[in-house]
Amino acid sequence: MTAEQAAVPGGMSRRRRRQISLWTQYGLFAAVVLVVALLADWPKLRVNFANWGVAKDLFPDVITVGLRNTVVYTAVGFGIGLALGLVIALMRLSSAAPYRWFATVYIEVFRGLPLLLIFIFVGVGVPLAFPGTTIPGGAVGQTGVALGVSAAAYMAETIRAGIEAVPRGQTEAARSLGMSHGRAMASIVLPQAFRIVVPPLTNQLVLLCKDSSLVLFLGVTLEQRELTKFGRDLAGQQGNTTPIIVAGICYLVVTIPLSLLARRLEARRHGGRR
């Protein structure tokens, strides 16, 4: 009797036991799927969630208004977030202590707040705090600011990590050539840091794309509706859930390729030489 057999009660081999355990798991999984499928009311589902007639009427507006606005809100939010995030990251790494404190507080505060709260603050709080002022650009400006100030906190940490990942020798070489601190940062460190942070920033873009749906709490006009608001409104009007499904598919059309892109960039970075 070998040592392996001796360790298994009942004389069953280890491989056999693993097989049984695996098939039990598959069986349970299949049973759960089957039960859910049997409980669902398929004809009703088809009419309410995959109603071809309702879906067809959504086009082209779901693309030209909904998807378009989602992309615009996301892009503006990303732009503001990136610019602000870079500034906060540089402050975080500054030799001046007050800058570092400010950056740390900023990052902790905005990472700790629900995004919805920030949207409400931008929509309601800013006009109250600064009477007579509204954020320029209407819904686009407001959404961009709300998404941007929140994303900046996350992006600042990402960018800081990217800057710190650039070897010290790079700065030393740049400074030795007579470059000032700022010049070395701009010409030597940041170009390398951004290459490092492209994958995480792409993931951030995916998050922003989904979070742009919160604009509906700001109150938007018909032309300013993005995918979620658009889908929800039409679902209400039609008394049918299909528009929600169509809006969801539109999100996935944008987010899945971005996620795949981020994963590929990451794989290339880890696989490639430096």
Q: Which residues bind another protein (CB under 8 A)?
A: 167, 169-170, 172-180, 183, 187-188, 191-192, 195, 273-274
Q: Which is nearer to another protein, 132 or 272 (CB)?
A: 272
- What span, in angstroms and rounded, lies between the C-alpha atoms of 71 and 110? 23
Report DSSP letters for 13-34, one per residue.
Answer: -HHHHHHHHHHHHHHHHHHHHH
Taking the complex as a whole, the smallest distance from the CB of residue 195 to another protein amounts, in Å, to 7
Nearest to another protein of 103, 163 (CB atom): 163
Contact partners, residue 57, CB within 8 Å, separation at least 6: none
In the complex, minimum distance from the CB of residue 154 to another protein, in angstroms, rounded to a whole number: 25
* Closest CB to another protein among residues 76, 184: 184
- With beta carbons less than 8 A apart as the criterion, state whether 250 and 62 touch: yes
Q: How far is the CB of 96 from another protein (least distance, A)?
A: 17
* Residue 1, SS3 per DSSP: coil
Kindly tell me which of 146 and 201 has the beta carbon lying closer to another protein: 201
3-state SS of 210-262 is HHHHHHHHCCCCHHHCCHHHHHHHHHHHHCCCHHHHHHHHHHHHHHHHHHHHH
| Min separation Cβ 198 and another protein, Å | 13
Whose CA is closest to 210, among 194, 197, 228? Answer: 228
Q: How far is the CB of 243 from another protein (least distance, A)?
A: 46
**What count of residues does the chain have?**
274
Cβ proximity to another protein: between 171 and 203 the closer is 171
CA torsion angle 87 91 93 98 (round to 10): 180
Nearest distance from C-beta of residue 255 to another protein, angstroms? 29
Give me the helix-helix angle, 242-271 and 227-238, nearest 10°: 160
Q: How far is the CB of 186 from another protein (least distance, A)?
A: 9
Rank residues 125 and 167 by Cβ distance to another protein and give the closer one: 167
CA dist 39 and 149 (Å) reads: 45
Smallest gap from Cβ 167 to another protein, in A, equals: 8
Structure tokens at 28: 């349970």
Q: Which residues fall within 8 angstroms of residue 199, CB to CB, at 6 or more apart?
A: 262, 263, 265, 266, 269
Beta carbon nearer to another protein, 100 or 195:
195
Closest to another protein by CB, 195 vs 210, is 195
